[in-house]
Chain A
Amino acid sequence: MTPVKHPLAKTGIYAVLILFSIYSVIPFFWAILQSLKTVRQAFARTPLFFFTPTAQNYTNLWFTSTPENFWALGMIIVGTAVTFILLLMVSKKYAVPKSLLIAGIIIILAAALILIPRMMNMAEFYNYFVNSVIITVGVVVISMTIGSVSGYAIARYTGIDSIIILIAALGFRALPRMAFALPYYSLGLATGLYDTYWIVILVLVAANQPFTIWMMSAFFADIPKELEEAASIDGLAPFPAFIRVIIPSAWPGILSTGLFSMLLAYHEFLLVRVLTQSKWTLPVAIVQFTGGEAPGHVTLAAAAAVSTTIPIVLIIIFFQKHLVKGLTGGSVKG
C-alpha cells in the first residue's frame, strides 16, 4: 500500500500499534512482577508495582535446598552463554558446517544438563525441564530427518502422488489431538510403551510430519533444479546429491521448519499428559502448579511460567524473521 501522508493519521496508526503491542505483552509483564513478589505482596488489594524483589519463588521452584554454591551455578550459566556466543561468532567467521555447529550446541547443552544436578539439589521442576529438552530434541531430530527427505521428494516430483500426500497430511494436521491420544493410550498400555520417552517422541514426530513436509517442500521448491542436475553430471547418485548439494543450500528453510517443529514439541500438553506418568514436561507441570487453590501456588506458578517462557523469548529475539517465514510458509507466495 502507498504510505499514509497525513501526520494525524500517521500518529493514530502508531498509537494503535503501540497500544496493541502493549496489550500483547501485559500478561508477561505482570507474570514477571508476580514471580518476584512474596505471596502476601502478590495478593495485595491494590496491585503492587514497586516493591523489593525476591528470588525466593525461583529458588523454591528449581532447588530443594538453597544452594551454597550459587556462584558455581552462575558460572555454569555464564560459561554456557559465553561459549554459545563464541561458537556463533567463530562459525560466522570460518564457515563451519552447520551440522557441526548444531552438534556442538547439543553437546554443550547436554553437558550443562548433566553437570548442574551433580552440583546442587535440584527440585522436581528441573526434571520436568530435562524431560522437555529430551523430548523436544528427539522430536526435532527425527522429524526433520525424515521430513526434509520427504519434503524434497514432494517438491521435485510432479506427479499426482505428491499432491495427494500433501493434502492427506493437511487433513491429519487438522484433526483433534484427542482422536490420537486415546488410541495411543490403549496401545501404549498394551505394548508397554506407555510412560516412556519413546511413545511421546514417536507420536509427536507423527503429529509434526504434516507440517514439516509442507514447509520443507515449499522451501525446496525455491531451490534451483540446476543444482542437482550439476551434481548428477558429476556422477553423484540422487541421495548423496541431496545430502551434499541440496541440504547445504536449504539451511534457512531447515532452520525455520526446525524452529516450528521445536515449538510444537515444547508446547505439547495433551499428548504428554495422556501418555506419560513420570515423564512430565514443563506444560504439564505448570498445569499441576495452577490446578490447586493453594495461595502459595500463585507466585510459584508465575515463576514457573516465566522460566518456561525465557527460551521462547530468546528464540523470538534471534529468529524473528525465520518465525515469520515459518508462519506464512507455503500459504503466501512472494
Chain B
Amino acid sequence: MKRKLFHQFSAPSNLAMILLMVFPLVYAVFLSLNFVTFRNITSPEFVGMANYRYILSDPDFWRAFRFSLIIIVFTVPVHICLGFIMALFLDQVSLAVRGLLMSMMLLPFIVVPVVGTVMFRQLFEVGGIMSYLYQQVFSQPFVFTPMSVKVLVIFHLIWYVTPYPIVVFFAGLQTLPEEHLEAATVDGASRIQQIRFIVIPHLKPLLLMIMMILIMDMYRMFDSILVMTKQNPLFQAENLMMYNYRIGMSVQRLGRANTTAVLTVIGILVVLIPFLRLQYRNKTGKG
C-alpha cells in the first residue's frame, strides 16, 4: 500500500483521535492554568501556577495518591499470580468443561463495572451472605469503616480484573514450544522445573506487558471505588480519580480539577513511556 493511500484510509480515524483526544488534552493544560468555575466557564481567568501550588500542597491529594499506589501494590501481583495459576489449570481440563468454566470466570470482567461493584457490595451489606459469614466467624457485625472499605475495594478489584490475565495467559500457553517441553520431560525435569525454566521464560514478554497494562488500569480505576465508597468522605478511600472527580463535580473548581487531571497524566507517564517503548520495539522488530 502506498503512503498516500494509507493516509487517506486512516484519515477519519486519525482525525477523530486528534480532534477528540489531543485537542482536549491541550485544552486541559490551558484550563489548568486558569481559575474556572461554573460561573465563568466561557471566560476563564488566568492565574498561572496557582492551581498547581494549591493541589500539590493539598493533603487530600497526597492521601489519594497514596491510596492509588496501595491499590496497585495489593492488586496487580495477585492478578498476575492467580491469573497464571488458573491459566495453567485451565490448560489441563477437557475442552467441554473448559468452555463452561471460562464463561463463568469471564463474567466479572465482562459485566458493567458499576453493576459488578453493586453486586459485590451487596454481599457485605446487612442481609448479605458475606456479612452473615463474617458475623458467624468473628461474632461481630461487618461494618463499613475506612479500613474495611479499602480492603473491600481491593478484594473487589481482584475479583473483577483477574479474568483478564487468566484469558491472556491461557492464550499464551497455547503457543508454548512443545518440543522443548518434550525434551525436558525426557531429561526428567519435574513439572515445577518445566514451568520455572520453560513456561515462564517463554511467557516473559507477555507477563511484562500484562503487568504494565494492569498497573495503568488500576491507577485509573474509578467506577468501582465510587460505588464501593458511595462517595462518602468519612471512608477517606479516595484514589486520584475520585479526588479529581470531587474537585471537578462536587466542589466545582474546574481549573483545579484540570490541574489534577494533568498531574495524573504526568504520573502515568512513568509506566506509559517504558510500555510504549516496549511496544515500539516489538512492532519494529528491534530486540
Contacts and interface: CB of A to CB of B under 8 A. Distances in A.
B112 A177 contact: no
B70 interface: no
B220 A287 contact: no
Given A146-B13, A328-B167, 5 more contacts: A24-B104, A150-B13, A172-B21, A186-B41, A298-B125
Interface stretch (B56-64, B71-79, B114-122): B114-122
Contacts of A287: 114, 226-227
Contacts of B90: 17
A127 B31 CA distance: 34
Task: Please name the 5 residue pairs, one residue from A and one from B, whose CB atoms are nearest each other, closest first.
Answer: A206-B20, A153-B9, A150-B13, A334-B175, A27-B119
B115 A47 contact: no
Interface string B265-279: 100100010011001
A242 B9 CA distance: 10
B171 A324 contact: yes
A283 B226 CA distance: 12
Interface of B: 1, 3, 5-10, 12-14, 16-17, 19-21, 24-25, 27-28, 31, 36, 41-42, 85-86, 88-93, 97, 99-108, 110-116, 118-123, 125-129, 132, 159, 163-164, 167-168, 171-176, 181-182, 185, 191, 194, 199, 206, 209-210, 213, 216, 219-220, 222-223, 226-227, 230-231, 240-241, 244-245, 248-249, 254, 257-258, 260-262, 264-265, 268, 272, 275-276, 279-280, 283-284
Nearest to A132: B112
B232 to A, nearest CB: 10
Given A17-B90, A169-B17, A182-B258, A30 B10 contact: no
Interface in A171-210: 171-172, 174-187, 189-190, 202-203, 205-207, 209-210
6 contacts: A24-B105, A162-B6, A174-B220, A178-B260, A179-B25, A333-B175
Nearest to B23: A183
A266 B272 CA distance: 26
A301 B248 CA distance: 27
B129 A30 contact: yes
Interface stretch (A38-46, A50-58, A64-72, A107-115): A38-46
A25 interface: yes
Contact of A286 (B118, B185, B248): B118
B150 to A, nearest CB: 19
Contact of A179 (B14, B125, B262): B262
Contacts of A189: 41-42
Contacts of A205: 16, 20
B13 A213 contact: yes
B283 A184 contact: no
Interface string A263-300: 10011011000100000001100110011000000100
Q: Which of B99, B119, B129 has the most CB of A within 10 A?
A: B119
B13 A147 contact: yes
Nearest to A41: B127
A31 B275 CA distance: 38
Given A184-B24, A305-B118, A328-B168, A14 B13 contact: no
A157 B6 contact: yes
A168 B18 CA distance: 10
Contacts of B222: 176-178, 269-270
A301 B24 contact: no
Contact of B25 (A183, A203, A213, A327): A183
B15 to A, nearest CB: 8
